[in-house]
Amino acid sequence: MYTYDKNQLQSKLADYIGARVPADAWQWLQEKATLVTKDSKQFHIAFAAASRKLGKQAVVLTAEEQTGLQQIRKQLTVTGWAIDRLCRVWLLLQLNSEDEDNYVQTIERLFPAAEMNELVALYSALPLLAYPQRWRARCAEGIRNNIADVLEAIMCDNPYPSEQLDEAAWNQLVLKAIFTEKPLQKVIGLIERSNETLANSLTDYAHERWAAHRKVLPLLWQCVGRFINAHNFADIQRIALSTDAREREAAALACQQSTYAPAQELLKTNTLLQQLVNRGITWQEIAEKLQRNS
């Protein structure tokens, strides 16, 4: 039912939490942890009250601790979380998952009455819950949320969406991440999950913005590169000749991703683009430059 060693993660997180919260708060949390397996009402109260008891200081892990987590659950990141978020996720790990329907229901009941920070914790927990396929609809629903922190919990540093969402829901996630200006480099699986439908939507979106005299996020083209074709090649030519250095860099990388002959030809003939690629430009580098200049 779990895709990773749940017990090992549970005890590792317990070590991390125990070392970071006051003794009385840790005791409260442990008491609640033993109760939640028996009584779903206790679970709901503990989940809501976590912030009152544990506070909100940011969790900072050492590099070693962070690697330790990722050895158990790949791509799991908890650094920068508020401590109550981590504790809420840990509480979710205490639930008895043997009865699938009962387990899913207990967690589903939290969503409709959750406040902002509870929603953040719930969506952060998706990659750690049992029966991963059971949370696909919930995750897709979460992408329709409009609260920045909630969206970020789903979209950024969260391995669940790319592992589980179907193509339509995944494409919504990417479009909405761009639309709401989330840091795209933190979307796990962005290039791997890109597809032709998404590439078409993104080029349409770029046309809309150009028509409105608005700028287009250069990072968007990393989802298009593998799907450059006769239909959208003109867009790549356009950004290759852009006065904006970030757009030219994006054009170089998109062409590099592409197997479309004219795109490869463009890279060969445009010395500027070629220099960029030879120098080893990356999407990450473009993202950092954008961040610095924003």
Residues in contact with other proteins by CB under 8 A are 44-45, 48-49, 51-52, 112-119, 146-149, 178, 181, 183, 214-217, 220, 290-292, 294
Nearest-approach distance from CB 271 to other proteins, in angstroms: 28
Please identify, using beta-carbon distances, which residue of 61 and 114 lies nearer to other proteins: 114
**Tokens for 105?**
């229901």
Please identify, using beta-carbon distances, which residue of 125 and 217 lies nearer to other proteins: 217
Q: How far apart are CA 46 and CA 98, in angstroms?
A: 21
245, burial (CB in 10 Å: exposed 0-12, middle 13-18, buried 19+): middle
Nearest-approach distance from CB 187 to other proteins, in angstroms: 14
What is the DSSP secondary-structure string of 189-255? Answer: TTTTT--HHHHHHHHHHHHHHHHTT----GGGGGGTGGG--TTTHHHHHHHHT-SSHHHHHHHHHHH
Please identify, using beta-carbon distances, which residue of 146 and 269 lies nearer to other proteins: 146
Please identify, using beta-carbon distances, which residue of 221 and 227 lies nearer to other proteins: 221
Nearest-approach distance from CB 195 to other proteins, in angstroms: 22
Please identify, using beta-carbon distances, which residue of 10 and 42 lies nearer to other proteins: 42
In degrees, rounded to 5, the angle at the alpha carbon of residue 99 between the alpha carbons of residues 93 and 102 is: 80
Nearest-approach distance from CB 94 to other proteins, in angstroms: 19
Please identify, using beta-carbon distances, which residue of 1 and 116 lies nearer to other proteins: 116
Nearest-approach distance from CB 73 to other proteins, in angstroms: 25
Please identify, using beta-carbon distances, which residue of 12 and 44 lies nearer to other proteins: 44
Please identify, using beta-carbon distances, which residue of 20 and 182 lies nearer to other proteins: 182
Nearest-approach distance from CB 266 to other proteins, in angstroms: 24
Nearest-approach distance from CB 15 to other proteins, in angstroms: 26
Of 4, 30, 28, nearest to 15 by C-alpha is 30
Of 228, 92, 41, 147, nearest to 251 by C-alpha is 228
Instruction: Write down the residue that tokens 């029966």 correspond to.
Output: 131
Residues, the chain, total? 294
Non-local (6+) Cβ contacts of 106 within 8 A are 40, 43, 95
Of 202, 276, 260, nearest to 226 by C-alpha is 260
C-beta of residue 128 within 8 angstroms of C-beta of residue 76: yes
Nearest-approach distance from CB 71 to other proteins, in angstroms: 28
Q: How far apart are CA 214 and CA 212, in angstroms?
A: 5
Of 257, 197, 277, nearest to 231 by C-alpha is 197
